Amino acid sequence: MPHKKEVMVGVDLGGTSIKAIAVNGKNKILATEKKRTEAGVKPEALIKEIAGVVESVAKNAGCKMKALAAVSIGAPGAIDIRRGIVNEAPNLGWKNVPLSDALESLLGGVPVVVDNDVNVGVIGEHALGAGEQIKNLVGIFVGTGIGGGIISGGKLYQGSNGWAGEIGHTVLLVDGPVCSCGHRGCAEALASRTAIERDVRDAIKAGQKSLVLQIMKEKNKDRITSSVIQEALARKDRVVQEVMKRAEYYLGILVANAVNVLDPARVVIGGGIAERLGDDFVAPIRSTAYEYFLHPPAAKKIKIVPGALGDNAGALGAVVLARKRLDL
Protein backbone atom coordinates (compact mmCIF):
# COMPACT_ATOMS: atom_id res chain seq x y z
CA MET A 1 0.00 0.00 0.00
CA PRO A 2 1.27 3.45 -0.93
CA HIS A 3 2.36 5.77 1.86
CA LYS A 4 0.98 9.05 0.57
CA LYS A 5 -2.52 9.38 -0.78
CA GLU A 6 -2.25 8.48 -4.42
CA VAL A 7 -4.86 5.79 -4.98
CA MET A 8 -7.93 7.17 -6.72
CA VAL A 9 -11.26 5.74 -7.70
CA GLY A 10 -12.77 6.63 -11.07
CA VAL A 11 -16.45 6.02 -11.67
CA ASP A 12 -18.35 5.83 -14.93
CA LEU A 13 -21.99 6.39 -14.04
CA GLY A 14 -24.22 5.13 -16.82
CA GLY A 15 -27.95 4.83 -17.28
CA THR A 16 -27.85 1.09 -16.52
CA SER A 17 -24.66 0.51 -14.52
CA ILE A 18 -22.02 1.89 -12.18
CA LYS A 19 -18.51 1.06 -13.30
CA ALA A 20 -15.62 1.83 -10.95
CA ILE A 21 -11.86 1.40 -11.07
CA ALA A 22 -9.18 1.98 -8.47
CA VAL A 23 -5.81 3.14 -9.79
CA ASN A 24 -2.39 3.76 -8.27
CA GLY A 25 -0.44 7.02 -8.60
CA LYS A 26 0.58 6.08 -12.14
CA ASN A 27 -3.03 5.43 -13.15
CA LYS A 28 -2.44 1.67 -13.34
CA ILE A 29 -5.65 -0.20 -12.62
CA LEU A 30 -5.55 -2.06 -9.29
CA ALA A 31 -9.17 -3.23 -9.17
CA THR A 32 -12.43 -2.84 -11.08
CA GLU A 33 -16.05 -3.25 -10.17
CA LYS A 34 -19.29 -3.07 -12.14
CA LYS A 35 -22.81 -3.07 -10.82
CA ARG A 36 -26.04 -2.96 -12.77
CA THR A 37 -28.53 -0.38 -11.56
CA GLU A 38 -32.29 -0.35 -11.75
CA ALA A 39 -34.07 2.31 -13.75
CA GLY A 40 -36.08 4.88 -11.81
CA VAL A 41 -34.22 4.53 -8.53
CA LYS A 42 -34.14 7.79 -6.54
CA PRO A 43 -31.00 9.96 -6.48
CA GLU A 44 -30.33 9.32 -2.74
CA ALA A 45 -30.54 5.55 -3.24
CA LEU A 46 -28.34 5.58 -6.35
CA ILE A 47 -25.74 7.75 -4.61
CA LYS A 48 -25.66 5.20 -1.76
CA GLU A 49 -25.07 2.47 -4.33
CA ILE A 50 -22.22 4.50 -5.84
CA ALA A 51 -20.69 4.90 -2.37
CA GLY A 52 -20.92 1.13 -1.88
CA VAL A 53 -19.19 0.40 -5.19
CA VAL A 54 -16.45 2.94 -4.40
CA GLU A 55 -15.79 1.39 -0.98
CA SER A 56 -15.74 -2.08 -2.44
CA VAL A 57 -13.32 -1.29 -5.29
CA ALA A 58 -11.02 0.63 -2.94
CA LYS A 59 -11.00 -2.33 -0.56
CA ASN A 60 -10.17 -4.72 -3.40
CA ALA A 61 -7.28 -2.42 -4.32
CA GLY A 62 -6.00 -2.69 -0.75
CA CYS A 63 -6.73 0.94 0.03
CA LYS A 64 -8.59 2.18 3.12
CA MET A 65 -11.12 4.93 2.57
CA LYS A 66 -9.15 7.48 4.56
CA ALA A 67 -6.10 6.75 2.39
CA LEU A 68 -8.04 7.46 -0.82
CA ALA A 69 -6.85 10.62 -2.63
CA ALA A 70 -10.13 11.29 -4.43
CA VAL A 71 -13.15 9.90 -6.20
CA SER A 72 -13.88 11.19 -9.68
CA ILE A 73 -17.13 10.57 -11.51
CA GLY A 74 -18.22 10.85 -15.10
CA ALA A 75 -21.99 11.35 -15.14
CA PRO A 76 -24.32 11.40 -18.16
CA GLY A 77 -25.72 14.90 -18.49
CA ALA A 78 -25.12 18.58 -17.96
CA ILE A 79 -22.80 19.13 -15.01
CA ASP A 80 -21.95 22.18 -12.93
CA ILE A 81 -18.32 21.10 -12.61
CA ARG A 82 -17.35 23.82 -10.15
CA ARG A 83 -19.96 22.80 -7.61
CA GLY A 84 -20.19 19.10 -8.51
CA ILE A 85 -23.89 19.29 -9.27
CA VAL A 86 -25.62 17.20 -11.92
CA ASN A 87 -27.90 19.85 -13.41
CA GLU A 88 -29.76 17.54 -15.71
CA ALA A 89 -29.32 13.85 -16.52
CA PRO A 90 -32.30 12.58 -18.53
CA ASN A 91 -31.01 8.97 -18.54
CA LEU A 92 -30.96 8.98 -14.73
CA GLY A 93 -34.04 11.13 -14.29
CA TRP A 94 -31.91 13.56 -12.28
CA LYS A 95 -32.31 17.33 -11.95
CA ASN A 96 -29.95 19.50 -9.87
CA VAL A 97 -28.53 16.66 -7.78
CA PRO A 98 -25.56 17.76 -5.58
CA LEU A 99 -23.65 14.56 -6.35
CA SER A 100 -20.29 15.77 -5.12
CA ASP A 101 -21.47 16.97 -1.67
CA ALA A 102 -23.75 13.97 -1.09
CA LEU A 103 -21.06 11.45 -1.95
CA GLU A 104 -18.35 13.27 0.01
CA SER A 105 -20.42 13.08 3.16
CA LEU A 106 -21.20 9.38 2.61
CA LEU A 107 -17.47 8.67 2.08
CA GLY A 108 -16.24 10.52 5.15
CA GLY A 109 -14.88 13.57 3.37
CA VAL A 110 -12.94 12.06 0.46
CA PRO A 111 -12.87 14.78 -2.26
CA VAL A 112 -15.32 14.03 -5.08
CA VAL A 113 -14.93 15.49 -8.58
CA VAL A 114 -17.71 15.31 -11.20
CA ASP A 115 -17.72 15.94 -14.93
CA ASN A 116 -19.67 14.85 -17.98
CA ASP A 117 -19.23 11.16 -18.91
CA VAL A 118 -18.28 11.84 -22.53
CA ASN A 119 -15.81 14.56 -21.55
CA VAL A 120 -14.00 12.19 -19.21
CA GLY A 121 -14.10 9.43 -21.83
CA VAL A 122 -12.37 11.73 -24.31
CA ILE A 123 -9.86 12.80 -21.64
CA GLY A 124 -9.17 9.13 -20.91
CA GLU A 125 -8.54 8.21 -24.55
CA HIS A 126 -6.47 11.36 -25.02
CA ALA A 127 -4.24 10.90 -21.99
CA LEU A 128 -3.93 7.13 -21.73
CA GLY A 129 -5.42 5.58 -24.86
CA ALA A 130 -5.65 6.06 -28.62
CA GLY A 131 -5.09 9.81 -28.33
CA GLU A 132 -1.46 9.47 -27.22
CA GLN A 133 -1.60 12.96 -25.75
CA ILE A 134 -1.54 14.74 -29.12
CA LYS A 135 -2.60 18.38 -29.02
CA ASN A 136 -5.82 18.45 -31.02
CA LEU A 137 -8.21 15.54 -30.91
CA VAL A 138 -11.88 14.82 -31.44
CA GLY A 139 -13.56 11.94 -29.61
CA ILE A 140 -16.85 10.45 -30.78
CA PHE A 141 -18.51 7.82 -28.57
CA VAL A 142 -21.17 5.69 -30.22
CA GLY A 143 -23.47 3.94 -27.77
CA THR A 144 -27.07 4.42 -26.65
CA GLY A 145 -26.48 7.96 -27.86
CA ILE A 146 -23.57 9.62 -29.64
CA GLY A 147 -21.35 11.75 -27.44
CA GLY A 148 -18.51 13.97 -28.51
CA GLY A 149 -15.61 15.81 -26.98
CA ILE A 150 -12.90 18.11 -28.25
CA ILE A 151 -9.32 18.38 -27.03
CA SER A 152 -7.71 21.62 -28.19
CA GLY A 153 -4.15 22.56 -27.32
CA GLY A 154 -3.97 19.49 -25.05
CA LYS A 155 -6.99 20.51 -22.98
CA LEU A 156 -10.69 19.79 -23.01
CA TYR A 157 -12.42 22.46 -25.08
CA GLN A 158 -15.43 23.55 -23.05
CA GLY A 159 -16.71 26.56 -25.01
CA SER A 160 -18.19 29.72 -23.50
CA ASN A 161 -20.71 28.00 -21.22
CA GLY A 162 -19.34 24.46 -20.85
CA TRP A 163 -21.67 23.16 -23.57
CA ALA A 164 -19.18 22.50 -26.37
CA GLY A 165 -18.58 19.13 -28.01
CA GLU A 166 -22.14 18.00 -28.75
CA ILE A 167 -21.06 16.45 -32.03
CA GLY A 168 -23.70 13.70 -31.76
CA HIS A 169 -26.45 16.28 -31.94
CA THR A 170 -25.30 17.96 -35.11
CA VAL A 171 -27.93 17.59 -37.81
CA LEU A 172 -26.76 15.47 -40.75
CA LEU A 173 -30.10 14.92 -42.40
CA VAL A 174 -32.47 17.88 -42.17
CA ASP A 175 -36.00 16.63 -41.41
CA GLY A 176 -34.62 13.11 -40.74
CA PRO A 177 -35.72 10.77 -37.93
CA VAL A 178 -36.60 12.19 -34.50
CA CYS A 179 -33.74 12.20 -32.00
CA SER A 180 -33.79 11.67 -28.22
CA CYS A 181 -33.21 15.43 -27.94
CA GLY A 182 -36.49 16.16 -29.72
CA HIS A 183 -34.96 17.52 -32.92
CA ARG A 184 -34.78 15.75 -36.26
CA GLY A 185 -31.90 14.29 -38.19
CA CYS A 186 -29.14 14.47 -35.55
CA ALA A 187 -26.28 12.00 -35.99
CA GLU A 188 -27.51 10.26 -32.84
CA ALA A 189 -30.88 9.61 -34.50
CA LEU A 190 -29.14 8.08 -37.51
CA ALA A 191 -26.20 6.07 -36.24
CA SER A 192 -26.31 5.39 -32.48
CA ARG A 193 -26.87 1.85 -31.23
CA THR A 194 -30.44 2.95 -30.52
CA ALA A 195 -30.90 4.08 -34.14
CA ILE A 196 -29.34 0.84 -35.38
CA GLU A 197 -31.74 -1.15 -33.18
CA ARG A 198 -34.71 0.88 -34.49
CA ASP A 199 -33.72 0.29 -38.12
CA VAL A 200 -33.11 -3.45 -37.64
CA ARG A 201 -36.47 -3.88 -35.90
CA ASP A 202 -38.21 -1.85 -38.63
CA ALA A 203 -36.66 -4.04 -41.32
CA ILE A 204 -37.80 -7.19 -39.51
CA LYS A 205 -41.30 -5.75 -39.07
CA ALA A 206 -41.33 -4.97 -42.78
CA GLY A 207 -40.81 -8.66 -43.40
CA GLN A 208 -37.06 -8.87 -44.03
CA LYS A 209 -35.43 -12.08 -42.85
CA SER A 210 -32.94 -11.72 -40.00
CA LEU A 211 -31.29 -13.86 -37.33
CA VAL A 212 -31.33 -11.01 -34.83
CA LEU A 213 -34.34 -12.07 -32.76
CA GLN A 214 -32.94 -15.60 -32.50
CA ILE A 215 -29.49 -14.31 -31.48
CA MET A 216 -31.11 -12.11 -28.82
CA LYS A 217 -32.87 -15.18 -27.44
CA GLU A 218 -29.64 -17.21 -27.46
CA LYS A 219 -27.82 -14.44 -25.62
CA ASN A 220 -30.74 -13.75 -23.32
CA LYS A 221 -30.85 -10.07 -24.34
CA ASP A 222 -33.97 -7.97 -24.70
CA ARG A 223 -32.13 -5.34 -26.73
CA ILE A 224 -29.93 -5.41 -29.80
CA THR A 225 -26.68 -4.94 -27.92
CA SER A 226 -23.20 -4.58 -29.39
CA SER A 227 -22.64 -8.29 -28.80
CA VAL A 228 -25.86 -9.17 -30.68
CA ILE A 229 -24.71 -6.95 -33.56
CA GLN A 230 -21.30 -8.63 -33.53
CA GLU A 231 -22.83 -12.11 -33.64
CA ALA A 232 -25.27 -11.15 -36.41
CA LEU A 233 -22.41 -9.79 -38.50
CA ALA A 234 -20.40 -12.97 -37.84
CA ARG A 235 -23.34 -14.96 -39.21
CA LYS A 236 -23.58 -12.59 -42.21
CA ASP A 237 -27.08 -11.37 -41.35
CA ARG A 238 -28.10 -9.22 -44.33
CA VAL A 239 -30.37 -6.88 -42.39
CA VAL A 240 -27.69 -6.05 -39.82
CA GLN A 241 -25.04 -5.75 -42.55
CA GLU A 242 -27.17 -3.20 -44.42
CA VAL A 243 -28.13 -1.20 -41.33
CA MET A 244 -24.53 -1.11 -40.09
CA LYS A 245 -23.29 -0.02 -43.51
CA ARG A 246 -25.70 2.90 -43.50
CA ALA A 247 -24.81 3.86 -39.90
CA GLU A 248 -21.10 3.76 -40.73
CA TYR A 249 -21.73 5.95 -43.77
CA TYR A 250 -23.49 8.55 -41.58
CA LEU A 251 -20.69 8.34 -39.01
CA GLY A 252 -18.10 8.87 -41.75
CA ILE A 253 -19.85 12.06 -42.79
CA LEU A 254 -20.14 13.09 -39.12
CA VAL A 255 -16.39 12.65 -38.70
CA ALA A 256 -15.75 14.65 -41.88
CA ASN A 257 -18.00 17.47 -40.63
CA ALA A 258 -16.06 17.60 -37.37
CA VAL A 259 -12.71 17.51 -39.19
CA ASN A 260 -13.71 20.19 -41.69
CA VAL A 261 -14.64 22.50 -38.82
CA LEU A 262 -12.02 21.59 -36.22
CA ASP A 263 -9.01 20.22 -38.15
CA PRO A 264 -7.82 17.93 -35.33
CA ALA A 265 -4.75 15.69 -35.65
CA ARG A 266 -6.73 12.58 -34.69
CA VAL A 267 -10.28 11.31 -34.32
CA VAL A 268 -10.97 8.54 -31.81
CA ILE A 269 -14.15 6.48 -32.19
CA GLY A 270 -15.13 4.98 -28.84
CA GLY A 271 -18.13 3.35 -27.20
CA GLY A 272 -19.54 -0.16 -27.07
CA ILE A 273 -19.77 -0.97 -30.78
CA ALA A 274 -16.25 0.30 -31.51
CA GLU A 275 -14.96 -1.71 -28.56
CA ARG A 276 -16.61 -4.90 -29.87
CA LEU A 277 -15.91 -4.51 -33.59
CA GLY A 278 -12.71 -2.45 -33.55
CA ASP A 279 -11.43 -1.52 -36.99
CA ASP A 280 -14.15 -3.56 -38.74
CA PHE A 281 -16.43 -0.75 -37.55
CA VAL A 282 -13.99 2.13 -37.94
CA ALA A 283 -12.52 1.28 -41.39
CA PRO A 284 -15.72 2.06 -43.35
CA ILE A 285 -16.24 5.22 -41.26
CA ARG A 286 -12.69 6.26 -42.10
CA SER A 287 -13.12 5.64 -45.80
CA THR A 288 -16.31 7.74 -46.05
CA ALA A 289 -14.75 10.49 -43.90
CA TYR A 290 -11.69 10.69 -46.14
CA GLU A 291 -13.97 11.05 -49.14
CA TYR A 292 -15.75 13.96 -47.45
CA PHE A 293 -12.66 15.82 -46.21
CA LEU A 294 -12.64 19.22 -47.87
CA HIS A 295 -8.84 19.28 -48.05
CA PRO A 296 -7.72 15.97 -49.56
CA PRO A 297 -4.22 16.09 -47.98
CA ALA A 298 -5.99 15.84 -44.62
CA ALA A 299 -6.58 12.16 -45.36
CA LYS A 300 -2.83 11.63 -45.03
CA LYS A 301 -2.47 13.68 -41.88
CA ILE A 302 -5.56 13.00 -39.79
CA LYS A 303 -5.85 9.54 -38.26
CA ILE A 304 -9.23 8.01 -37.45
CA VAL A 305 -8.86 5.18 -34.94
CA PRO A 306 -10.93 3.06 -32.55
CA GLY A 307 -10.63 3.84 -28.85
CA ALA A 308 -7.96 1.89 -27.00
CA LEU A 309 -9.42 1.84 -23.49
CA GLY A 310 -12.79 0.25 -24.19
CA ASP A 311 -15.17 0.33 -21.27
CA ASN A 312 -12.53 1.90 -18.99
CA ALA A 313 -12.14 5.15 -20.93
CA GLY A 314 -14.58 7.12 -18.77
CA ALA A 315 -13.37 5.94 -15.37
CA LEU A 316 -9.71 6.37 -16.36
CA GLY A 317 -10.40 9.80 -17.82
CA ALA A 318 -12.17 10.76 -14.60
CA VAL A 319 -9.05 10.06 -12.52
CA VAL A 320 -6.81 11.90 -15.01
CA LEU A 321 -9.14 14.89 -14.76
CA ALA A 322 -9.25 14.74 -10.95
CA ARG A 323 -5.44 14.70 -10.67
CA LYS A 324 -5.32 17.88 -12.78
CA ARG A 325 -8.28 19.52 -11.06
CA LEU A 326 -7.02 18.76 -7.54
CA ASP A 327 -3.38 19.17 -8.52
CA LEU A 328 -2.49 15.67 -7.23
Q: Report the interface residues with a copy of itself, using CB under 8 A.
A: 78, 135-136, 148, 150, 152, 157-167, 169-174, 181, 183, 249-250, 253, 256-258, 260-265, 291-292, 294-295, 297-298, 301-302
Nearer to a copy of itself, 157 or 280 (CB): 157
Burial of 124 (C-beta count, 10 Å sphere; 0-12/13-18/19+): buried
CB of 251 to a copy of itself, least distance (A): 11
CB of 165 to a copy of itself, least distance (A): 7
CB of 227 to a copy of itself, least distance (A): 28
Per the CB < 8 A criterion, the answer to whether 51 and 101 are in contact is no
Which residues contact residue 101 at a Cβ distance below 8 angstroms, ignoring those fewer than 6 apart? Answer: 84, 112
Q: Which of 150, 9, 155 is nearest to 74 (CA)?
A: 9
Nearer to a copy of itself, 137 or 319 (CB): 137
Sheet-wide strand order for 146-152? 155-156, 146-152, 137-142, 266-270, 303-306
Per the CB < 8 A criterion, the answer to whether 306 and 141 are in contact is no
Specify which residues 304 forms β-bridges with: 267
Nearer to a copy of itself, 183 or 238 (CB): 183
Nearer to a copy of itself, 158 or 230 (CB): 158
Nearer to a copy of itself, 91 or 170 (CB): 170
Specify which residues 23 forms β-bridges with: 8, 29
Q: How far from chain centre, in Å, is Cα 175?
A: 27
Per the CB < 8 A criterion, the answer to whether 99 and 288 are in contact is no
d(C-alpha 280, C-alpha 198), whole Å: 21
CB of 297 to a copy of itself, least distance (A): 8
CB of 93 to a copy of itself, least distance (A): 18
Nearer to a copy of itself, 157 or 278 (CB): 157
CB of 185 to a copy of itself, least distance (A): 8
